[in-house]
Structure formats: C-alpha cells, structure tokens
Amino acid sequence: MPQDLSQALKEGHTQAENGQFMRNFQKVQVTRKGFKLAMASLYHVYAALEEEMERNKDDPVYAPLYFPEELHRRAALEQDMAFWYGPRWQEAIPYSPATQRYVGRLRQVGRSEPELLVAHAYARYLGDLSGGQVLKKIAQKALDLPSSGEGLAFFTFPNIASATKFKQLYRSRMNALEMTPEVRRRVIEEAETAFLICIQLSEES
C-alpha cells in the first residue's frame, strides 16, 4: 500500500478517466445532448456532495479538507443549468439512474460514515482541477460555445490562482488527516467505489 493516502487514492483515478464519455470528450466526439446530460448529472451530484460536506464540516476527519470558497461547484452549476436548460431548469433537468445511485451513496455516507466524504471529495474536486481547463476548451470548440465561458462555469475555479499549488496543499492536508488504519482502508475502498460510479455516470452520456 502506498504510504500517502492521496497516492493510494490516485491509483484508482486512471480508471475513471478511461470512461466512454471521457474518451469521446478527448476525441472531440461530444454531442450537445450528451454534454447537457452530463452537466445535469454533475449538478445533482455536487448539490448532494456539498450539502453533506456542509453538514459534516466540523467532523475532525473531514474538516481539514473543507474549502467551500475555492472548490464548491453548486453555484457554478446552477449558472450552467440556466444556460443549458433555461430559466425553469429545475423542472427540466434529467435525473438518470446512475446519478440517482451516486447521490444515494453520497447521502448514505454523509449521514452514517462522514469520514468517507474524503474519498468522494478527492475523486471529484481534484479530477475537476486536473482536467477541467482542457475539457472546457474541448467543449467550447466542439459545441461552438461563447468564448466568454457561458455554459461552462463548472470548469472555472476563480478563487484558485494556481491549480498545481492548490492540489499540493489539498494532498498534504489529506495525507496529514488523523485516521485509524481501519478508517484509512475504508476511505481507499470508498474512493474505488467513487471512481467506478464516475465511470458509470460517464457511460450514460
């Protein structure tokens, strides 16, 4: 087992990057329909994830990774939903089976095992920071979107000056978390679950 928790979690991440939607995205085969569905799924996921984070922000295992100003995506995704689905987007956005499973897992973890939120936060936010700018440019080109960034607020982190430095900070905080070997094992297992759910989500689009 790798010494650092962040390294242990990173090993499962390459699987998620190989999902069908990601492969299509990187080959610029993304469609407007598929992209809209993916963005709606992300809205549901982040709304649930961030509600559970708020509920557990004082939990000693999770608290060092609480960065709402820098990382939280719900407000950005609400802007994107209005762009893609119109002013009544809350009534219009789809809620796919894989998304429902993902949200259900986040709710379960947040209520009964909040220390496992570490795994989901890592799987989502560090992946977004790593690939977000590349995906934004691909989407702008493939879908002929405005250069102003409308419809793509999700991919922009205005309160992070350097993604590389922030990821280093986040990983160092993660590696310093105090957890028993049993909790650490469960966090690593939960990260594998999170990455598999991400793959299922991407293959729906």
> Residue 15: pLDDT above 90?
no
How crowded is residue 86: how many other Cβ atoms within 10 Å of its Cβ? 10
Radius of gyration of the chain measured on its C-alpha atoms: 16
166 pLDDT higher than 90: yes
Q: How many domains does the chain have?
A: 1
**What is the residue range of 162's domain?**
5-204
Contacts of 118 (CB under 8 A, 6+ apart): 5, 61, 62, 65, 174, 177, 187
Task: Say how far apart CA 151 and CA 155 lie, in whole Å.
Answer: 10
pLDDT band at 13; cut points 50, 70, 90: low
Burial of residue 64 (CB within 10 Å: 0-12, 13-18, 19+) is middle
**Quick one: pLDDT band at residue 72, thresholds 50, 70, 90?**
very high
Mean pLDDT to the nearest integer, 129-138 = 83
Q: What are the helix (H) ranges across 3-61?
A: 5-10, 13-17, 20-26, 32-55
pLDDT digits (tens, 9 = 90+) for 51-65: 999 999 999 888 999
Q: pLDDT at position 118, please?
A: 94
CATH number at residue 88: 1.20.910.10
Q: Which residues participate in the annotated binding site?
A: 13, 122, 171
Q: What is the pLDDT of residues 135-165, one digit of tens each?
A: 888 889 889 998 889 999 999 999 999 999 9
**Residue 1 pLDDT > 70, yes or no?**
no
CA dist 45 and 53 (Å) reads: 12
Binding-site members for heme b are: 13, 122, 171
> How many residues belong to the chain?
205
